Chain A
Amino acid sequence: MATLTLDRPQATTPRPERDARNRRSLVGKVVLYAVLIAAAAVIMLPFFWMVTSSLKSNNQVFTVPIQWFPDPVVWSNYVDIWSKSDMTTWLKNTLILSVTVTFLQVFTGSFAAYGFSKMRFRGRDVLFLAYIGTIAVPWQAYMIPQFILMSRFGLSNTLWAIIALQAFGAFGVFLMKQYYDSIPEELSEAARIDGLSEYSIWRRIVLPLSGPAVATLTLLTFVNTWNDYLGPLIYLRDRDLWTIQIGLKTFVSQYNAEYALIMTGSVLSVLPIAIIFMLGQRYFVQGIATAGLKG
């Protein structure tokens, strides 16, 4: 965040020019705000439409001309959706998966990152190269052998499949290593001299110092797992294992004319993510700035 809010110091202007400049910059400001507001409106329009449609009765969703605000407001969609779909099961499964995956990814990722960043041993760099190398390999290319392996292990059609799929990503290791590299070597060196074991250095010194990175990884992993559609599509066949994404998709094809209800389901699937994003948005930005630019 620090880099993103940091701005160039403005050039100092000589006095006589100042008035003209000020007036011009005021006009510029107004124009800029107008452009920004228009752009924001266009970007958010689909979400606005989604929310208002979820509050309409079904035959009001597609009207000519467009009815921008629901009249009357139909709250009952938000009651009906629970009985017309397995929303409760879907949300429960998705929550279980997201929490487990996030915990595992953060733990194994930050643990491995310590090995890569703070320890020196043979084979370390080759190994890290293997991690980096596979980031460029598209998952779509190896999803079939992965599925075959997973089926051999008997994990297919269980929630474990999704956990295994998401929890050991190279991304987490990469992100955490990037952050650990910025923690001064002297800290762990001093702790080593004081007789702390490597595990204690990780737990008592490095981990507590990497709060922002852990927060970033937590949020990104949670959101990714919550939004994942392809993993559940391939691995979860039983209805009671479905996640919100796969459930919503099936609901859409099943009730393809129930526009208002479909929008209600969409709102419910996005809402938790929207809340998490609002609460922790600076960590998202930070994560992208660190993991993105170094890559």
Chain B
Amino acid sequence: MATTAVPAPTRAPRQRPPGSRLKLRNSLIGWTFILPNFIGFAVLTLVPVLILFYLAFTSWNVFGAAEWVGLENFEKLLGDRTFHTALRNTGYYALMHIPLTLAVSLGLAMLLNTKLRGVAFFRTVAFFPYITSIVAIAVVWNMLFSPESGPVNQILMALGIDNPPGWTTSTTWAMPAVALVSTWRDMGYYMLLFLAGLQAIPGELYEAARVDGANKLQRFWNVTIPSLRPTTFFVTVMLTIASFKIFDLILVMTDGGPGTSTLVLSQYIYRKGFEEQQFGYASAVAIVLFAICITVTVVQFLVNKRRNA
């Protein structure tokens, strides 16, 4: 592996054009700048990614050595009920989390895109949940969601809902609860991205629309939304990838439960790999996650390119 970690510096060409010595020197100096970071990066990221693709085709587990088994792991995945559940749950989570977060963060950005006094304070407030630790957040929300006497259900009951959901103790409501919490946590981050996008829209566009007699809603649909498209595109890609790799929040909030109702892909990788030590099989699941993330990125990129063309 050491050979991949330290790629050889570019060799000088045989016939030396004038200045080639300088070029070589430049290359060497350039590499010295990059090396301290690159060694760590290569050994801990690049090489593991390569090993992953090898491991997925082996039967390596705690009992034996890595034996090449071809596509066996992937065939096993096709019939693995728990894997299907994890895949479905992850998709379900993404379906709730992506639109909800897009709507809320865009809404917040529109609200906060003014020059009212104190607006910076509100931006700070909206962003604050994003920098607090998952563990503390999950613990607090679990208590807030407590079905019997938790504040959330008490407020719901005060609002006239007699049978509030059991949240994290209920198989139907556990995933929505997780999606709510993660939306609450992430919205400030995406709001900042939307804000930057909104502020890049030239004021003349709105002026022109107003002269043409467009009302507020029309201006929103015909000026704001189209002008924001690059931002929306970027945010959607980030959100989708983040949704499919949801992990630590689930681990601390529900640990996949009740039953397998919130078991997600990343957690299934963790369980197979670190708890059951089936490294080969877990790597196959990891490849599926990897493939989903790459596909999402590429598809969204292509769609965006076609729309722009």
Chain A residues with a Cβ closer than 8 Å to the other chain, count: 101
A88-130 contact mask (Cβ, 8 Å, vs B): 1 or 0: 0000000000000000000111011011100111111001001
Question: A262 near B122 (CB under 8 angstroms)?
Answer: no
A223–B134 CA distance with the chains assembled, in angstroms: 12
Known contacts A33-B116, A44-B125, A277-B128; A259/B143 CB under 8 A:
yes
**B302 CB–A CB distance under 8 Å:** no
**A284 CB–B CB distance under 8 Å:** yes
Question: A274 near B132 (CB under 8 angstroms)?
Answer: yes
Q: Which positions 1-27 of chain A face chain B at CB distance < 8 Å?
A: 3-9, 11
Sorted from nearest, which 8 A-B pairs have the closest CB atoms? A168-B40, A115-B33, A108-B37, A8-B203, A145-B51, A121-B30, A112-B37, A227-B133
**A40 CB–B CB distance under 8 Å:** yes
Name the residue on B nearest A35 (C-beta): B111
Report which of B33, B120, B146, B294 forms a contact with A114, defined as CB distance below 8 A: B33
Question: B199 near A4 (CB under 8 angstroms)?
Answer: yes
Q: Which positions 32-48 of chain B face chain A at CB distance < 8 Å?
A: 32-34, 36-41, 43-48
Please tell me which stretch of B79-87, B91-99, B164-172, B243-251 contacts chain A, meaning at least 4 of its Cβ atoms lie within 8 angstroms of it: B243-251
Report which of B36, B45, B200 forms a contact with A107, defined as CB distance below 8 A: B36
Q: Which residues of A contact B39 (CB under 8 A)?
A: 168
Most buried by B among A32, A141, A223, A292: A141
Question: A141 near B290 (CB under 8 angstroms)?
Answer: yes
A123–B193 CA distance with the chains assembled, in angstroms: 32
Question: A111 near B27 (CB under 8 angstroms)?
Answer: no
Known contacts A43-B184, A170-B45, A277-B131; A144/B279 CB under 8 A:
yes
A35–B112 CA distance with the chains assembled, in angstroms: 11
- The SS class assigned to the B binding surface is helix
Q: Which residues of A contact B148 (CB under 8 A)?
A: 62
Question: B125 near A40 (CB under 8 angstroms)?
Answer: yes
Known contacts A6-B199, A35-B111; A168/B154 CB under 8 A:
no
- The SS class assigned to the A binding surface is helix
**B144 CB–A CB distance under 8 Å:** yes
For the A-B complex, the count of residue pairs with Cβ-Cβ distances under 8 Å equals 290
Name the residue on B nearest A197 (C-beta): B29
Question: B286 near A141 (CB under 8 angstroms)?
Answer: yes
Residues of B at the A interface (CB closer than 8 Å) are 1, 7, 10, 23, 26-27, 29-34, 36-41, 43-49, 51-52, 55, 108, 111-116, 119-120, 122-129, 131-137, 139-141, 143-144, 146, 148-151, 154-155, 184, 189, 192-193, 195-197, 199-200, 203, 206-207, 210, 231, 234, 238, 241, 244-245, 247-248, 251-252, 265-266, 269-270, 273-274, 279, 282-283, 286-287, 289-290, 293-294, 297
Q: Which residues of B contact A45 (CB under 8 A)?
A: 151
Chain B nearest Cβ from A267, distance in angstroms: 8
A44–B289 CA distance with the chains assembled, in angstroms: 34
- Can you list 18 A-B contacts with CB-CB less than 8 angstroms, sorted by A residue number? A29-B116, A119-B26, A138-B241, A140-B245, A140-B269, A140-B289, A141-B287, A144-B55, A148-B279, A149-B48, A169-B41, A262-B143, A263-B143, A269-B135, A270-B133, A274-B128, A281-B127, A289-B196
**A198 CB–B CB distance under 8 Å:** yes
Question: B132 near A289 (CB under 8 angstroms)?
Answer: no
A33–B290 CA distance with the chains assembled, in angstroms: 44
Please tell me which stretch of A74-82, A207-215, A245-253 contacts chain B, meaning at least 4 of its Cβ atoms lie within 8 angstroms of it: A245-253
Report which of A114, A142, A227 forms a contact with B286, defined as CB distance below 8 A: A142
A169–B41 CA distance with the chains assembled, in angstroms: 7
**A65 CB–B CB distance under 8 Å:** yes
Question: B44 near A137 (CB under 8 angstroms)?
Answer: no
Question: A198 near B108 (CB under 8 angstroms)?
Answer: no
Q: Which residues of B contact A11 (CB under 8 A)?
A: 203, 207, 210
A271–B87 CA distance with the chains assembled, in angstroms: 36
Question: A138 near B293 (CB under 8 angstroms)?
Answer: yes
Question: B154 near A64 (CB under 8 angstroms)?
Answer: yes
Q: Which residues of A contact B193 (CB under 8 A)?
A: 288-289, 292-293
A131–B34 CA distance with the chains assembled, in angstroms: 11
Q: Which residues of B contact A5 (CB under 8 A)?
A: 120
Known contacts A64-B154, A142-B45, A144-B282; A269/B136 CB under 8 A:
yes
Question: B131 near A273 (CB under 8 angstroms)?
Answer: yes
